[in-house]
Chains A and B, each alone.
Chain A
Amino acid sequence: MSSPLILLPGDEVPSEYLPSTNSAPLRLGAGLRLLTQPSSNPSKPPSHVIAATQPGILSTDNRKNAASILSTPNRRYIPTPNDLVIAQIHHSSPDYFHCMVTPQAPHALLGQLSFEGATKKTRPMLKQGDLVYARVLSMGLGAGAEVELTCVNPATGRAEPGGLGPLTGGMVFDVSIGMAARLMRASSSSPEQQEAVAGLVVLEELGKKLEKTGGFEIAIGRNGKVWVDCANGGETAVKSTVAIGRCLSTIDEHDLNPTDQRKLVTRILREMKIES
């Protein structure tokens, strides 16, 4: 990969960096905006530039004809439609569960019936502090509108991808939202590709080493939350869960490379006295 283009707010994106493979309109993602400069000569059309609004690395996708900014990984999560998040129920009202997606932000709404196969009689009875794995459906219209979540695909009425819905047991760990995005990419690709797409080998490594003790289940929320459960772990369940949490947060904090990630996994499993 050639050296990345780092932009600061206000910097214009040089046109040669933008995808130009087809005639479809360019899609601007997070951190970029289109500025129109009226030309000095009224007969000429105004000129357009694309400028950054957030600091970060320019990321382009020629296939989708899209460009966006990869910004600082420790920032606060802002709900974006289609993101998978781990939300915590705060309270419920007749129609909705009011959930926390990010602390110190307004609650998001999750319909009481937005679960697979839910009817008035079969809907899950969630209480304060319960966790759900949900998808951001919409951000609402206008300023101050509520974010809406769902646990089903509105088109099919199924929990797609599998696993959407209440999360029971297990433990949640906080990671940066940059790390959450990487984990998401890693977990959606095959074990061999994880290193290439996200620079992460930790999930693959943990998966191999904890296989004997029953393996683990993991759900990654783009809001910087990772849910881990070792339900089949028996006696080592608690220790394995803590070990996974420690591995993830240490890698996040110290930007460990794949070699060090492998070493860390081995060290922590040994420290926690988990046989692998």
Chain B
Amino acid sequence: MNKEASLSIAERDFILNALREDVRLDGRQADQFRPLTVSFGEEHGHVKVQLGKTSLVVRISSEVAKPRDDRPFDGVFTIALELTAMGSPAWENGRQGDLETYVINVLDRVVRHSNALDTESLCILKGVSCWNIRADVHITDYDGNLIDASCIGIMAGLQHFRRPDAVVKDGQVIVYGLDERVPVALNITHKPLSVTFHTFDEGKRVILDATRKEEQASEADVVIGLNNAGDVCYLSKFSGSPVDAMVFVNKSSVALEKVKQINGIIDKALQTDLAKRAKSGMAEESRAENDREIH
């Protein structure tokens, strides 16, 4: 039973017919995201994302580990996502479904393979120790568009996270506690996000940020991953019926606009959080940030 209940014919037909009149079930435009809120918890790298009724928690953590043998100068970055029965009663605990594999694959490509997190900066001592950064994505409510929501959560988390400071002294690695030395922000090279489109009516209707029911009623999906500069780092049409090449061309510019908008929301949330921390006497982090900018 690792599957959402299928849509009824009435729902499928209605969603399609409504889209032909440019109407979506929640009254949105075709190119409109659902309301998005990004908020941070007490710990660094603890993010809560609410996108319409889809919600998730991302937690970033770090530990010192041994680098991979073939990459002695690189740290390790892993994205872990496990769909549990919390997100949807249709998901079974401890059993991996197709959706999970697919989402992890896309997240890996958009965030990890595009080198959004500079893994070389995670090296502490060549071939001996490095930082192992882990992003855990907990899906708490599933109502469509897991990929974009997870991407937003991971990127916001990486920007919010602070790892402990570590130095090498006489060949020994010393890791300072969070209260001993000001923790260090991660080195983010660019901020890629994904925008997922779904097509209907033989590719004639294209919408973004589909809800669960819209996803189920759609013919195919197209994922575009890109950063604020418009560099496309991921493009896929994984399954479903064919999509016209012009959709990719036209929707790339829509995606760029959305990525800029969402990155703006993340920046604003980060600033609000920083201001809150500064106010509550936890100003060290913000000072450290300024120091680094001056150097």
Contact = CB atoms under 8 A, between A and B. Distances in A.
Are A and B in contact, CB atoms below 8 Å, in the complex? yes
A171 B25 CA distance: 10
Contact of B8 (A131, A271, A272): A131
How large, as a class, is the contact surface on chain A?
20 to 34
A245 interface: yes
B27 A103 contact: no
B17 A172 contact: no
A167 B26 CA distance: 23
Please classify the interface of chain A as helix (H, G, I), strand (E, B), loop, or mixed, using the class held by over half of its residues.
mixed
Interface string B220-255: 000000000000000000000000000000000000
Contact of A271 (B5, B11, B27): B27
A169 B10 contact: yes
A262 interface: no
Interface in B1-59: 1, 4-14, 17-18, 21, 23-27
Contact of A238 (B4, B23, B26): B23
B167 interface: no
B7 A129 contact: yes
A239 B4 contact: no
Given A103-B89, A104-B5, A268 B27 contact: yes
A156 B1 CA distance: 38
A170 B12 CA distance: 10
B86 interface: no
Interface in B268-291: none
Given A100-B5, A104-B90, A129-B9, A241 B14 contact: yes
Given A104-B1, A104-B89, A88 B21 contact: no
Contact of B10 (A227, A245, A271): A227
Contacts of A130: 8-9
Contact of A129 (B8, B21, B89): B8
B26 A131 contact: no
A130 B18 CA distance: 19
Interface string A125-160: 001011100000000000000000000000000000
B90 A103 contact: yes
Given A100-B5, A104-B90, A246-B26, A170 B14 contact: yes
Interface in B85-142: 89-90
A15 B101 CA distance: 56
A242 B23 CA distance: 8
How large, as a class, is the contact surface on chain B?
20 to 34
B18 A88 contact: no
A167 B13 CA distance: 14
A132 to B, nearest CB: 10
Nearest to A173: B25
Interface in A208-251: 227, 238-239, 241-242, 245-246
Contacts of B13: 169
Contacts of B8: 88, 129-131, 172
B27 to A, nearest CB: 6
Contacts of A131: 8-10
B28 to A, nearest CB: 11
A242 B90 contact: no
A104 B8 CA distance: 15
Contact of B21 (A100, A171, A238, A271): A238
B10 A170 contact: yes
B281 to A, nearest CB: 36
B21 A239 contact: yes
A271 B26 CA distance: 11
B8 to A, nearest CB: 5
B207 to A, nearest CB: 14
Interface in A88-105: 88, 100, 103-104
Interface string A165-199: 00111111000000000000000000000000000
Contacts of B9: 127, 129-131
Contacts of A104: 1, 5, 89-90
B27 A171 contact: no
A103 B5 contact: yes
A127 B12 CA distance: 14
A247 to B, nearest CB: 11
A57 to B, nearest CB: 26
5 contacts: A103-B4, A103-B89, A129-B6, A171-B11, A238-B18
Interface of B: 1, 4-14, 17-18, 21, 23-27, 89-90
Given A245-B25, A246-B26, 13 more contacts: A100-B5, A127-B9, A129-B8, A131-B8, A168-B10, A171-B14, A172-B8, A172-B10, A172-B11, A238-B14, A239-B21, A242-B18, A242-B24
Q: Closest 3 A-B residue pairs measured CB to CB?
A: A103-B5, A129-B9, A171-B14
